[in-house]
Amino acid sequence: MKNYKKIFLILWILPIMFINWKEPAISTIDNRELLSFREIYPTVQDFFDNLDELEPLLRDRIGFRNKMIFTHGNLYNLLFQKLEHPLYEYGEDGEVFFTFREEQDRQKENLEFVAFLERADQYLKDREIPFVVAFNPGKHLVYEEKIPHNILVRPKEYEIFVKAMESSNINFVNNLDYLRGLKDETIYNKKFDVGHWTDRGAIYGITNILERFHEMDPNIEVPDFNEFTKEWVKEKYLPVSNIIINEKVEEFQGQGGFKNLDPEILNEIRRETRTDEHYRYINIFQNKDLENGKRILIFRGSFFNQKEFIYAPSFQEVVE
CA 263 to chain centre: 25
pLDDT of residue 188: 96
pLDDT, one tens digit per residue, over 179-213 is: 999 989 999 999 999 999 999 999 999 999 999 99
Work out the pLDDT band at 225, boundaries 50, 70, 90. Answer: very high
CA nearest 19: which of 58, 67, 71? 58
pTM of the model: 0.78
Give the DSSP H or E segment for 61: helix 54-61
Of 214, 133, 141, the closest CA to residue 173 belongs to: 133
Assess whether pLDDT exceeds 60 at residue 242: yes
Nearest residue to 139 (alpha-carbon basis) of 150, 153, 119, 156: 153
Least confident of 33-37, 129-133, 296-300, 303-307: 33-37
In degrees and rounded to multiples of 5, residue 297 shows phi and psi of: -110, 125
φ, ψ for residue 135 (rounded to 5)?
-105, 115
Kind plus residue range of the DSSP H or E element containing 89: strand 88-90
pLDDT at 142 over 80: yes
Distance (Å) of CA 271 to CA 140, 165, 166, 266, 281: 38, 35, 38, 9, 11
d(CA 42, CA 46): 7
